[in-house]
Amino acid sequence: MNGLIRLELTRALRNRKFLFFSVLYPSLLFLLIAGSADSTSKVDGTGLTLPTYMMVSMASFGALTAVLMGNSERIAKERESGWVRQLRLTTLPGRGYVLAKTASAAVVSLPSIVIVFAVAAVVKDVRLDAWQWLALTGAIWAGSLVFAALGVALGYLASGDAVRPITMITYFGLSILGGLWMPTTSFPSWLQDIAKWVPTHAYAALGQAIEQSQAPHAKDLVVLVVSFALFTGGAAWLYRKDTLKA
């Protein structure tokens, strides 16, 4: 099991394109969006400055990229190539494969979160209390598990050529509707009503609540917990179906 995590990680760290998009890209996007914003204008109804607000959005976006993009496509590919079958002939427990993938994605997502924070603090002078930095890191990191489960489910849902467009649509849909690229307060009100229920919105709201020194909203927690249950359940169901078919 540890051997597989190590190898998955070695492979992920070797893949420059993946590293760029999951680790550096969110920080670059942060600079692009928040770079010219002054540090006094507030995002409507949040009491947070644009850089502070976008820092959490982009850290969440980076974690989302790391856990969703790599895994869904790889799982679909490795199911097709028969690597998943080969692993079933080893002592690795059935779930070990999925867990190793999730664990290695989690290792990559951590630096992507931390780098966004560092860039925000250094370039845009975002200042928070020590507990807030720690809580933010923990919340965003832990919350990314919801989307790791989604990535696994997608990997087992579609195969080969179909998985990439499905992943892309899901990824951009979640990013935009969840308000990771721009505050949802700039959306028309009907879209805001939809966005409220998108799990990535709840995910970013978790971090923003920490920045506001508030307790997280119960509704956001419920959305995340229900999403996690749905994605994990879906992944488990698809996984079992795939295992019987193989």
List residues near another protein by CB under 8 A.
2-4, 7, 10-11, 14-15, 77-78, 80-86, 88-92, 244, 246
Nearer to another protein, 215 or 244 (CB): 244
* Cβ contacts of 187 within 8 Å, gap of 6 or more: 179, 195
Nearer to another protein, 81 or 186 (CB): 81
Are the CB atoms for 27 and 115 separated by under 8 Å?
Answer: yes
Nearer to another protein, 15 or 192 (CB): 15
Give the gyration radius of the chain's Cα atoms.
Answer: 18
CB of 36 to another protein, least distance (A): 39
How many angstroms separate the CA atoms of 117 and 245, rounded?
Answer: 45
CB of 93 to another protein, least distance (A): 8
Nearer to another protein, 14 or 188 (CB): 14
CB of 242 to another protein, least distance (A): 12
Strand partners, 42: 49
Pick from 161, 125, 109: nearest CA to 50: 125
Are the CB atoms for 240 and 88 separated by under 8 Å?
Answer: no
CB of 129 to another protein, least distance (A): 42
